Amino acid sequence: MINMSCMLKKQPIEFKSSVLTCLMLYINSNAVDMVQHAILKKIKEAPRFFNNASVILNVQNLTDSVEWEEMYKAIINTRIKIIGVDDNMKYIVKKKIIKSGIPILSKNKKIIEKRELYYKNICNQNHKLLQTKVITVPVRSGQKIYVHKSDLIIINNVNTGAELIADGNIYIFGIMRGRVLAGVNGDKTKNIFCTNFFAELVSIAGEYLLIDQIEPNFIGRGVRIFFKNDILSMMLLS
């Protein structure tokens, strides 16, 4: 008799594809102290968002003279966690980073193009595959919701510490107290709409505003967040 429980037993490890969102930290100066000070300043502005944040570094603006070991130590001493470094960098800088053992995250353009072409073909065959995601229950503190190549609609309240992320637009019909990131694939045409705005942070295409940067007359009101003349802007809905 065959023991089915043995046949169905999971393997010790599995590799699976995944879609993850992550902050990209651009290092634009060789000055170690200046970079560390700038990071600490950002953490102080929004400790809940930036403290212990996991990031991918972009170092394309660093020159060959950078003291990479010192730069790396300065960054991690701010309690920022480095997942890896984007492959777009100068040759000498890349050699220094490889020598230090930090992962280089390479983008395989051909594979990405094939996946995008496949995705477009599927969408042409059945446009219903990309329906808007609608959530009608409260979004709890610590909960993260991400929708890929689609809009997100929340018909309930979003608690402090929750995070909404979408490639498309985001609509919140309720009290918004968490973080909202729309157009995360870089699309500045996307919008955020909220009927009762108290968000800790709002972001479109990587540009963001913190609660203390927002004029008081927007707080608790219905708002639209959008790009106007390449600037992240807000307007009242009523």
Concatenated DSSP letters of 4-64: HHHHTPPPS----------EEEE---S-HHHHHHHHHHHHHH-HHHHTT-EEEEE-TT--T
Give pLDDT, residue 17: 47
Give pLDDT, residue 1: 46
Rg, the chain, Cα only: 21
Give pLDDT, residue 45: 77
What are the φ and ψ backbone dihedral angles of 119, each rounded to 5 degrees?
Answer: -60, -45
CA–CA gap between residue 149 and residue 16 (Å, rounded): 20
Kind plus residue range of the DSSP H or E element containing 140:
none
Give pLDDT, residue 5: 46
Q: What is the pLDDT along the chain (238 residues), one digit of tens a residue?
A: 444 444 445 567 555 544 455 678 899 999 999 999 999 988 887 776 677 777 888 899 999 999 999 999 999 899 888 888 888 888 889 888 888 888 887 654 443 444 445 445 544 544 444 568 899 999 998 899 998 888 999 999 999 989 999 989 999 999 999 999 999 888 899 999 999 999 989 999 888 888 888 888 999 999 999 998 888 999 998 6
Give pLDDT, residue 20: 52
Give pLDDT, residue 11: 64
Domains of the chain, first to last: 23-105 (3.30.70.260), 130-236 (2.160.20.70)
Give pLDDT, residue 120: 52
* CA 120 to chain centroid: 23
Give pLDDT, residue 9: 55
- Residue 77 carries which side chain, given as an amino acid letter? N
Give pLDDT, residue 90: 87
